Amino acid sequence: MKKILFISTRNPYSGRYSGDVIGSRKILNTLKKNNIVDLATLDKEENFTKKNVYIFKSPFLLIKIFYLLRSLATLKPLHFGLFYSNKMKRFIKKNAYNYDLIFCYHIRSAQYVPENFRGKKIIEMGDLYSSNYRQTFHYLNFLNPLKYIYFLESLLVKKIEKSIFLNFDKIILFSKSEIKKINKQFIKKIIHIDLSIDKIKKKYLFSKKNKKILFIGNLKYLPNIFAVKNFVKNVLPKLKKKIPHIKLQIIGDINLIDKILLIRNKEVECLGIQKNLDKFIKGAFCGLANLEIATGVQGKILTYMSYGLPVVCSKKAASNFSKNVMYYKNYHELIDKISILNKDVKVSRQMSKNSLIFVNNFKWKKISQHYLKVVGS
């Protein structure tokens, strides 16, 4: 049994319905089975009433701006400043010696690990974010000021990734293709652990009456909103000529302006955050992951598969799913493959069957054991 400090910049117990919150909570609860685990995290309000949980109030906007500028001045990633708390930093520095191991959830948590900590250091990076930011830089128009922010952030994050490879004992990544990009001198430190799903629900049933395409994801995340807008502008107008009454249903957090712009198209529905997806699978004939900016394993694809819903995705997003998804190279192929899934019962049922078989390897019950092994080794 080890004494572990688990660091997360978003509170795993906040109840927020997002992938990183849900993922951190699952890992935290698993580690507690065989270890003594304390949590240090940020949230809206400071709270030390729960046993083994230390919640530090996230700084207000002006302080965040100061930390953001300080990150820039010290050549650290900008999003480090957005998720920084001086009080949490001091607490961890003062108490780190009490722990055998520090487990950092996501790259921005690494900034809290004291330089003189002599215990074991493990981090779940998930994906190589420098690659994601570089892709975003290339995707944006040169007139968009965000283009240059993402270029700078890609360089700063790359620098931090190198530091993590040097200084951490174990680094967890989701994608085997991402691991291949890493310098061989660090390969012994890299642990491959897949993303997970909680349950498999065979909810998809083929019907020619099904007219809905599902897109699931946080629409405040640039690659997702880019993908949706691209689809609505360049694909949906042509697709509705082939499939009358087609609907694109978007499930996930979205800001008001983007929602207003999207729902001007009568074929688009923005449904916000939905904890229970069962009712939305009914009437759907495919899940969409048309991401042009993609690294690692896409959680939305695993979600579609866990319901047996056939998936159409970009070649980038498909790289970790072999022939269990349908991928396209251009808009023409995308339209054709969506049309096939809408009309061809044999193809749709086979893709659904492939999904359910493939996703069986990603059940949390199986995946969770890897975290216990990494911590225990």
| CB-based contacts of 208, cutoff 8 Å, min separation 6 | 342, 343, 345
pLDDT over threshold 90, residue 290:
yes
Question: Confidence band (pLDDT; 50, 70, 90) for 6?
Answer: very high
Q: For the residues 156-171, what does the mean pLDDT come to?
A: 95
Distance, in Å, from the CA atom of 221 to the CA atom of 295, rounded to the nearest integer, reads 13
pLDDT over threshold 90, residue 36:
yes
Question: Confidence band (pLDDT; 50, 70, 90) for 297?
Answer: confident
Distance, in Å, from the CA atom of 196 to the CA atom of 160, rounded to the nearest integer, reads 26
Distance, in Å, from the CA atom of 229 to the CA atom of 257, rounded to the nearest integer, reads 13
Q: Does the structural domain 3-193 have CATH classification 3.30.70.20?
A: no
Residue-level pLDDT at 180: 84
Under a CB-based contact definition with an 8 Å cutoff, are residues 292 and 331 in contact? no
Q: For the residues 38-49, what does the mean pLDDT come to?
A: 87
Residue that wins the pLDDT comparison between 21 and 231: 231
pLDDT over threshold 80, residue 62:
yes
Q: For the residues 151-165, what does the mean pLDDT come to?
A: 95
Residue that wins the pLDDT comparison between 297 and 208: 208
Residue-level pLDDT at 181: 84
Q: For the residues 20-47, what does the mean pLDDT come to?
A: 92
Q: Which string of b and e fits 17-32 if b means at least 16 CB within 10 Å?
A: ebebbebbbbbbebbe
pLDDT over threshold 90, residue 155:
yes
Under a CB-based contact definition with an 8 Å cutoff, are residues 377 and 172 in contact? no
pLDDT over threshold 80, residue 48:
no
Question: Confidence band (pLDDT; 50, 70, 90) for 17?
Answer: confident
Distance, in Å, from the CA atom of 20 to the CA atom of 9, rounded to the nearest integer, reads 10
Residue-level pLDDT at 320: 84
Bridge partner list, 47: 55
Residue-level pLDDT at 319: 83
Among 3.40.50.970, 3.40.50.2000, 3.20.20.70, 3.40.50.150, what is the CATH number of 212-362?
A: 3.40.50.2000
pLDDT over threshold 90, residue 322:
no
pLDDT over threshold 90, residue 298:
no
Residue-level pLDDT at 229: 96
35 φ, ψ (degrees, to nearest 5): -145, 165
Residue-level pLDDT at 14: 86
pLDDT tens, residue by residue, 208-230: 899 999 999 999 999 999 999 99
The conformational region for residue 135 under phi > 0 = left, psi -120 to 50 = alpha, else beta, is: alpha
Residue-level pLDDT at 239: 95
- Residue 269 structure tokens: 């529905």
Residue-level pLDDT at 175: 86
Distance, in Å, from the CA atom of 320 to the CA atom of 325, rounded to the nearest integer, reads 10
Residue-level pLDDT at 127: 87
pLDDT tens, residue by residue, 244-255: 999 999 999 999
Residue-level pLDDT at 63: 93
Residue-level pLDDT at 236: 96
Q: What percent of the chain is modeled with pLDDT above 90?
A: 78
3-193 and 212-362 agree in CATH topology: yes
Residue-level pLDDT at 232: 96
pLDDT tens, residue by residue, 82-112: 999 999 999 999 999 999 999 999 999 999 9
pLDDT over threshold 80, residue 18:
no
Strands of the sheet containing 170-173, edge to edge, are 53-57, 36-43, 3-8, 101-105, 120-126, 170-173, 190-192
Which pairs count as long-range contacts for 367-372, CB under 8 Å and 24+ apart, including other chains? Answer: 367/193, 367/194, 367/195, 367/196, 368/26, 368/27, 368/30, 368/196, 370/191, 370/193, 371/27, 371/30, 371/31, 371/193, 372/30, 372/31, 372/33, 372/34
pLDDT over threshold 90, residue 275:
no
User: What does the domain layout of the chain look like in residue ranges?
Assistant: 3-193, 212-362
pLDDT over threshold 90, residue 40:
yes
Residue-level pLDDT at 177: 81
- Residue 127 structure tokens: 């994906």
Residue-level pLDDT at 76: 94
Question: Confidence band (pLDDT; 50, 70, 90) for 329?
Answer: very high
Question: Confidence band (pLDDT; 50, 70, 90) for 294?
Answer: confident
In this structure, of 18-27, 73-82, 154-163, 328-337, the range with the lowest mean pLDDT score is 18-27
Q: Please give the helix or strand (H or E) that residue 36 lies within, else none.
A: strand 36-43
